[in-house]
Structure 1
Amino acid sequence: MVLEQLHRAGMRKDQIRFLWALGSHGAYDMIAARKKLGDGIVENYAVYNHDPFQNTVRVGRTPTGVELWFNREFMACDLKIGIGCITAHVHVGFGGGAKLILPGVAGIETINQFHNQQFRDFSRTGLGNFDNNIMRTECDAAGDMAGMNFKVDCLVNRRGEIASLYAGPFRATHARGAEDGKVHYGIPYRTGYDIVVSNAYGKANESAIALSFLVMLLKTGAQGTGVLIADSPEGQVPHYVFRAWGSDYGGRHFAARGKGFIPLLMKRLIVLNPAPDRTFLDLVCDNGDAEVVKTWPEVLAMLEKEYPSDARVAVVPDGTVQYLMQPGA
């Protein structure tokens, strides 16, 4: 539909390009591009990865002082259209809107400075915390300064299909989609479970996000058992800001999880991963703190042995896009 309208307005194929707004995540290959865009687009239009380490241009600063450097190709375009989705997000409350710009097409130092903003006031960030969110404010300022002209956003269901669609100015699509998303992605507030199963489905290669549900829903006092499902054969996404890039170091915001971290949060952590590797838990815990298995029957056997009779159980269908609503919401 977007391409149809652009061509109807007189634009040629060589005037249109696609740019993956991956921020500090690893680059896409063309297999991923064909899955996302289809063969027709990949074979007829230029498709570029974003490189946060070079070929960026300075645009200015946000009101709080974040230095804004953006993708050179993006900034050279006369018409800037963003296409993305809105899901609950650990920093900006709900993704979507101008998050496609910051950190999406930003330079690495800009991205680092952006993530520093969470330390100003943690109470004004977090999953589902959209209103008065200090990090969303940074995104909005960046969207204005970058000159994003039009935004298409959507909510997705548990099968990854479009459930609601929004199009227009980025602030409007983000606000409306986030308001609907509070109900669409929200899980009623309950706690005190013996067992919590949190599935990293929509963002399987960012499974650490789903860990938060284990912490929030389990019994307090590190009593319960958490099960994290991380079925991502390609591994966890490379992240130049948060993930490890060596034996004891990583990106600017990498925080090594020493052994003994998980026992402070729960009695036991079981991770279901059919294709594990030695670094996939670097955002979660030390490898010695988790019991990694490859099949669901193995998980069930461990749980049945630990809880031979009754147990209070919560299952989170997608711990990477949903969020726990506040009490009384």
Structure 2
Amino acid sequence: MPFLLDYLNRIGVEDEDVSILVALGTHRYMEEEEILERFGVEVVERIDVVNHRWRNEDNLVDLGVTEDGIPIEVNKLAVEADYLIGVGSIVPHVQAGWGGGCKILQPGICSDKTIKETHLLAAEQEDYLGLAGKAENPVREKIEDIALEAGLDFIVNVVFDGEGKVVDVVCGHPVKAHLRGVERASEIFVRDIPEPADIVVAEAYPAEVDYWQGIKALAHAQRGVRRGGKSILVADFGEGISPVHTEVAECARRPSGGIWRMWEDGELEDGVGVAALILHAEIMKHSDVICVSSRMLEEEKDKLGFESADSLQEALNLARGDVSGEPSIGIIEKGGDVLPRVEK
């Protein structure tokens, strides 16, 4: 970020005319200490860094609807900007196909009304678990339509390697530049495997604050485990299932059909949470899950339908006991970013 600010200074844009809007979607707001850790002292001292406070309607501007009726409600700070730059990274994403690009705006800085529509669109896809890694898909197209309509002018997206070092940067048109970045990111994050394993161990890191993040790693893992196999999810989950989307904890044991009926009958109010519940149901239909987390409460693991283990070794012993013969085992490090792909 300092490099971008320095460049803007060189072309005549002063720090006082720049603000950073943290694109949270419907995640919880970042604390001041977290903002400082994420952006660094230099950036925080030079410019304003503010959360996208999606719960406050006064922070949102209604820009109308898309051709198919999706409301476009976007953070006022972004709408009022003379030039809007999206800054992010490109990794596989369970609903949008890939992170980065226009996703910085939708869902990043939209209202929950707008955000729920593309999440529910993902949940409606026949191959929900297959969206990750697809550069072009119906959800991505809708995200891009909304972002461009809302005025996203330019993106700066980085591609990291497995050690967190920048290996590529793409800049320019929010869609065209992003597609170029996806090509490079695919080389790093999509890993070919010969066949699905009987047991897959998935490290949720770097998506392990709560299960709302960690479901990404577990969804990715389903691409590497056979149907009816065992998934072992290793994560911190210090904030439990989700401090924001509380309906997930209450309904996570229900099948996808039951979730849809509750949503249609008005028993569930959180559309973004419904999309997560459908994803969770698809995961649990594909494999049994053992969770290794010292910080997630046992009752939370039970609500998710997970078997609990105190250590990875205990989890492996449990998984082996349910598989006849000598099982094949796959290991996914940095499962929040890495996507297995069975070789054709």
Instruction: From the superposition, tell whether residues 140 and 13 of structure 1 become closer, same or farther in structure 2 (CA, over 3 Å).
Output: same
- Shift of residue 293, structure 1, vs aligned partner: 2.9
2:255 is matched with none
Equivalent AA in structure 1 for residue 98 of structure 2: F
Instruction: Figure out how many residues of one structure are paired with residues of the other and give that number.
Output: 316
3-state SS of paired residue (1:195): strand
Residue segments in structure 1 that go unaligned for 5+ positions in a row: none
- Are 2:18 and 1:3 aligned? no
- Are 2:65 and 1:44 aligned? no
- Are 2:336 and 1:296 aligned? no
TM-score (norm 1): 0.84
The separation in 1 between residues aligned to 2:194 and 2:183, in whole angstroms, is 21
- Which has the larger displacement, 103-112 or 175-184? 175-184
Equivalent AA in structure 1 for residue 32 of structure 2: M
Alignment of 1:95-114 (within 5 A): 95-114=99-118
1:320 is matched with 336
TM-score (norm 2): 0.81
Alignment of 1:123-272 (within 5 A): 123=127, 126-131=131-136, 133-205=137-209, 206-220=213-227, 222=228, 224-236=229-241, 238-240=243-245, 244=247, 247=250, 251-255=270-274, 264-266=285-287, 268-272=288-292
- Shift of residue 34, structure 1, vs aligned partner: 1.1
- Which has the larger displacement, 226-235 or 211-220? 211-220
2:261 is matched with none
The separation in 1 between residues aligned to 2:96 and 2:168, in whole angstroms, is 20
3-state SS of paired residue (1:143): helix
Aligned-residue identity in percent: 23
Instruction: From the superposition, tell whether residues 107 and 149 of structure 1 become closer, same or farther in structure 2 (CA, over 3 Å).
Output: same
- Which has the larger displacement, 272-281 or 91-100? 272-281
Instruction: From the superposition, tell whether residues 137 and 14 of structure 1 become closer, same or farther in structure 2 (CA, over 3 Å).
Output: same
Question: What are the Cα deviations for residues 125-168 of structure 1, in whole angstroms up to 9, with x where unaligned?
Answer: 7111112x111111221222222222111122233332321112
The separation in 2 between residues aligned to 1:185 and 1:23, in whole angstroms, is 23
Alignment of 1:48-127 (within 5 A): 48-53=50-55, 54=57, 55-118=59-122, 121-123=125-127, 126-127=131-132
3-state SS of paired residue (1:19): strand
The separation in 2 between residues aligned to 1:316 and 1:265, in whole angstroms, is 17
Instruction: From the superposition, tell whether residues 35 and 218 of structure 1 become closer, same or farther in structure 2 (CA, over 3 Å).
Output: same
3-state SS of paired residue (2:49): strand
Instruction: From the superposition, tell whether residues 33 and 63 of structure 1 become closer, same or farther in structure 2 (CA, over 3 Å).
Output: same
Higher helix share: 2
- Shift of residue 325, structure 1, vs aligned partner: 2.9
Residue segments in structure 2 that go unaligned for 5+ positions in a row: 252-267
- Which has the larger displacement, 58-67 or 91-100? 58-67
The separation in 1 between residues aligned to 2:296 and 2:80, in whole angstroms, is 42
- Shift of residue 274, structure 1, vs aligned partner: 2.3
The separation in 2 between residues aligned to 1:26 and 1:116, in whole angstroms, is 20
Instruction: From the superposition, tell whether residues 20 and 280 of structure 1 become closer, same or farther in structure 2 (CA, over 3 Å).
Output: farther
Matched-pair contact (CA < 8 Å) for 2:196–2:342? no
3-state SS of paired residue (1:57): strand
Instruction: From the superposition, tell whether residues 44 and 93 of structure 1 become closer, same or farther in structure 2 (CA, over 3 Å).
Output: same
Question: What are the Cα deviations for residues 268-321 of structure 1, in whole angstroms up to 9, with x where unaligned?
Answer: 53211121135755xxx734x322234334335545666797331111113222
